[in-house]
Amino acid sequence: MTDLAGELRGAVRGEVGFDTTSRALVTMDASNYRRVPLGVVAPKDADDVAAVLEVCRARGVPVVARGGGTSIAGQATGTGVVLDFTRHMAGLLELDPGSRTAVVQPGLILDRLQEAAAPHGLRFGPDPSTHSRCTLGGMIGNNSCGSHSVAWGTTADSVRELSVITARGQRLRLGRDWAGAPAGLRDLAESELARLRTGFPELPRRISGYALDALLPEKGADVARSFCGSEGTLGILTEAVVRLVEAPRARALAVLAYADESAAAEAAAGLLPYRPLTVEGMAADLVPAGAGLPAGGAWLFVETGGDSAPEARARAEEIVRAADVLGALVVTDPAAQRTLWRIREDAAGTATRMPDGTEAWPGWEDCAVPPARLGAYLRDFRALLAAHGLRGIPYGHFGDGCIHVRIDFDLVTEPGVARFRRFSEELADLVTAHGGSLSGEHGDGQARAELLPRMYGEETVRLFERAKAVWDPDDLLNPGMLVRPAPLDANLRFSVLPRRPVDVAFGYPADGGDFGAAVSRCVGVAKCRTTTVAGPAVMCPSFRATGEEEHSTRGRARLLHEMLAGEVVTDGWRSTEVKDALDLCLSCKGCRSDCPVGVDMATYKAEFLHHHYAGRRRPAAHHSMGRLPQWLRWAARTRTAPLLNALAAVGPLARIGKRLGGIAPEREIPRLATRTFTAWWRGRKPVQGAGGPGDLVVLWPDTFTEHLSPSVGRAAVRVLEAAGLRVALPPTLLPGRGAIGDGRTTAATALLTARRARVCCGLTYISTGQLDRARAVLRRTLDLMEPVLRAGAPVVVLEPSCAAALRTDLPELLHDDPRAARLSAAVLTFAEALERHAPDWTPPAVDRPVAGQTHCHQHAVLGDAPDRRLRTAAGLTGELSGGCCGLAGNFGFEKGHFEVSRACAEDQLLPAVRTAPQDAVVLADGFSCRTQLEQLAGVPGRHLAEVLAEALDATAGGAG
């Protein structure tokens, strides 16, 4: 392997990675399969591709082409050298609006092509749900389709010419009329004309096998088209000329409700004469509550287009009138349409979890039958599932007769794998009986290639083998795919995982306490590789900053999977490769909500760091910032905040302190408050008319509000009391300040107060993996909060990251303590508290636009709907951006993280603030967000409580 790596490094200009991380990242795609490659090459250009093929041919090493790695049948994995086209060969070389064509490289992401074509009123027709990260090369390799295939067909329908290099180094330009055909291909096709005319089913989504019928003279002897869907087994694509279509100027979406998916499937074919752009089907199990769809058990999403909004709407309404439905809805607002389409696009991930939380897997993801037979096929499919004791939730491209489904296979035990094989064989027969194709979109790969004889017959499959030999006589390119395939039940990715759950600190309640099952949540659909944030989304800021797979949620999950497998990553929890990949994880928790399968990399990172540093010396930053609550309490007790602020202002001393603390030299050390929030609370005089007979709320004095931003706490008290609420602080609940029970403090709480005990969410300990310390802190906190828990009082937490830690980390870390779940349930955000406990209160009118960013933890864990409603009621207009500020607690302060931290801020937050109206209020509820704004942009951000408190004071002043 070392010799091969050295020879490749001498032959190519792109990167050559034979290290542990490079190999571990590409052992899997989005399928059930896993293969360990020798290494990865990111070619700079076609010459690099040719050089790799030459070196590998001489050594007999297989070569696999890989784009985004989202293939779901195993065809993007291999045991030899993997070519990664996403790093360098990802350009849009030319776009000609006149001829409606574009010249693209294989690593170009589809959305980049769509963005470039849109100003010309054009688009690329096929659009898989992974359009934000799938590549044109991968789409050509799989002959991908997407939701608009009823209007614009498959990728093969959009290909004009292809530049490919064969395994023996021949450079070909494929097109019609035998253009670019390798020697022997025409003779092979012309000797089998009868078979080519009769042996290939005519249906819109026939993707399985080689498209040799495209070589028929009546079809233009189209070599480029026949190459589409060959899964990298015939040649390596280096460039493509693709056809663009005119995009409708306006669209409307008709949502049609049916009793179940079979009824929806029966109706789909009848809508095709109305020439819709899409006819997509979904069942209720995949649609989140509150989606606003008409009542039913399944829906068709039918999109129409037109030159104007009224024309598009009229076409949608015509379809509604023609359909026999339980209910219907026509959506014309583009934002509302995007929201609904996002549900459909995320289904590839959400379908991996059954309603009861059990897992479901790909493998039979995209069979296709003639659209008119879809209803009957679905009934037979359901019966087959039941006969095998399996469950799945069908959805997909009903207008093309193509069904996606994830099935709850047991791919771990021997009986479960045997059942997987029997079901696969019987389903292949069922699809064939309905005149269908084993693959209707994503290719055969290892999942279905073994069963192609059931669809095509042995003679046609032998013809496939002969065609493969014409293109690749040495079987160098992606061997084991399409012809002479590996068994469908071999190389399963779960077989290498430990049979017993490993010992972990967190409870992983959604995964049965099994860290391996949690890691296996990642099915590889790679939404984390999306390079632009849509709406409030957060995931994955570090990938957008670096563009490196190892810094994506999927990449980290792959490394953790390999760590548990122990074959590529061999040193377990001590792995430096896993540590390095997790190092740039901001623990933003964006993946917890934005990942379709709910991967929670922040928790996995904390778990890993806990084990990695067990009994070992920790980085300085873990002591300086991981134990921040201790240092800040010490400063408050000793009244040394003014001295520390003065020392931090002295350049040489600050530099020494930052170096000792593992803090980035580019950072300024935040100033400590000279008077803590609780000191203000204890010393303040009751405000005339403040509070009232309303509900009691307990205001949580988090570390950041207490020691760094007490103005936020003071403002929150002002607003909460103005809303008529009684406010108290833990652990002691003083009479006259919102006392619990009879208003008397107990001896226990008085003693705790005497000891200056403080509640803490444990966030800084958790984020640095100091989980033993976090548990101790949280247990002490639960002890202190006993009076609050007994009284059932709500706990208002102003810092979103602390609220998220209490809401999720607390019960998952102390899963053995029932008090943890009770405190978690009691936690409310500032806006939630006002909405639930002062519903009749009207906030003061601010009447200004807003700018800033929704806190990443608020987006991922807490939700911001109450905040939006509160802002609207106060006359704060506009939307906050998505993404992550990049500071993310200790992350942006740690040495070596500054550039990535700044890049994350430049992704969404800083541009949003720079382009905001001059009178905009810059909202930033998180201390990290405010600090990032101040240090990188010189802009003061404010908590919503501060904005409302200022408006209250202005109103009171004006009245006075």
- The tens digit of pLDDT for each residue in 885-920 reads 999 999 999 999 999 999 999 999 999 999 999 999
Q: What is the CB neighbour count within 10 angstroms for residue 693?
A: 7
* Rounded Cα gap, residues 412 and 596, in angstroms: 23
pLDDT band at 758 (very low <50, low <70, confident <90, very high): confident
- The tens digit of pLDDT for each residue in 167-193 reads 999 999 999 999 999 999 999 999 999
Average pLDDT, stretch 356-378? 89
Whole-prediction pTM value? 0.93
The confidence score (pLDDT) of residue 736 equals 37
DSSP 760-828: ---HHHHHTT-HHHHHHHHHHHHHHTHHHHHHT--EEE-SHHHHHIIIIIHHHHSTT-HHHHHHHHHEE
DSSP 48-103: HHHHHHHHHHHHT--EEEESSS--SSSTT--SSEEEE-SSSS--EEEEETTTTEEE
The confidence score (pLDDT) of residue 364 equals 86
Average pLDDT, stretch 500-510? 94
Residues 75, 599, 896, 934, CA torsion sign:
positive
Phi–psi pair at 552, nearest 5 degrees: -100, 160
The confidence score (pLDDT) of residue 339 equals 87
Q: What percent of the chain has pLDDT over 90?
A: 88
The confidence score (pLDDT) of residue 946 equals 98
CA 337, distance to chain mean position in Å, is 20
pLDDT band at 956 (very low <50, low <70, confident <90, very high): confident
Residue 931 has pLDDT above 80, yes or no: yes
The confidence score (pLDDT) of residue 349 equals 67
- The tens digit of pLDDT for each residue in 289-319 reads 777 899 999 999 999 999 999 999 999 999 9
Q: Which residue has the tokens 């406990």?
A: 837
The confidence score (pLDDT) of residue 689 equals 55
The confidence score (pLDDT) of residue 757 equals 63
Give the residue among 263, 526, 268 at the shortest CA–CA distance from 397: 268
Of residues 357 and 222, more confidence is placed in: 222
The confidence score (pLDDT) of residue 738 equals 40
Residue 426 has pLDDT above 70, yes or no: yes
- The tens digit of pLDDT for each residue in 829-842 reads 999 999 999 999 99
Residue 805 has pLDDT above 80, yes or no: yes
State the pairing for strand pair 81-84/63-66: parallel
* Rounded Cα gap, residues 896 and 907, in angstroms: 19
Residue 748 has pLDDT above 50, yes or no: no
3-state secondary structure of 944: helix
Mean pLDDT of the chain: 93
Give the residue among 906, 894, 834, 896 at the shortest CA–CA distance from 870: 834
Task: Show the tokens assigned to 338.
Answer: 């995007």
572-584 in b/e form (b: 16+ CB < 10 A) is ebebebbbebbbb
Cβ(61)–Cβ(18) below 8 Å: no
Task: Show the tokens assigned to 806.
Answer: 């209490």
- The tens digit of pLDDT for each residue in 74-104 reads 999 999 999 999 999 999 999 999 999 999 9
> Left (φ > 0), alpha (ψ -120 to 50) or beta: where does 389 sit?
left
3-state secondary structure of 646: helix
The confidence score (pLDDT) of residue 2 equals 82
pLDDT band at 691 (very low <50, low <70, confident <90, very high): low
Q: CB under 8 Å, gap of 24 or more: what pairs does 609-618 form?
A: 609/579, 609/582, 609/768, 609/769, 610/505, 610/769, 610/770, 610/771, 610/772, 611/573, 612/573, 612/574, 612/575, 612/578, 612/579, 612/769, 613/769, 614/573, 618/768, 618/770
Residue 692 has pLDDT above 80, yes or no: no
Cβ(449)–Cβ(483) below 8 Å: yes
Task: Show the tokens assigned to 602.
Answer: 């922040």
- The tens digit of pLDDT for each residue in 643-681 reads 999 999 999 999 999 999 999 999 999 999 999 999 999
Contacts of 393 (CB under 8 A, 6+ apart): 283, 285, 286, 351, 354, 360, 405, 406
The confidence score (pLDDT) of residue 352 equals 74
- The tens digit of pLDDT for each residue in 701-717 reads 999 999 999 999 999 99
Residue 743 has pLDDT above 50, yes or no: no
* Rounded Cα gap, residues 635 and 619, in angstroms: 22
* Rounded Cα gap, residues 374 and 353, in angstroms: 24
Residue 277 has pLDDT above 80, yes or no: yes
DSSP 330-373: EE--HHHHHHHHHHHHTHHHHTTB-TTS-B-B-SS--EE--GGG
Contacts of 438 (CB under 8 A, 6+ apart): 208, 367, 428, 431, 432, 444, 448, 451, 452, 454, 455
- The tens digit of pLDDT for each residue in 869-889 reads 999 999 999 999 999 999 999
- The tens digit of pLDDT for each residue in 109-157 reads 999 999 999 999 999 999 998 999 999 999 999 999 999 999 999 999 9
DSSP 242-311: EE-EEPPSEEEEEEEEESSHHHHHHHHHHHGGG--SEEEEEEGGGS-TT--PPSSSEEEEEEEEESSHHH
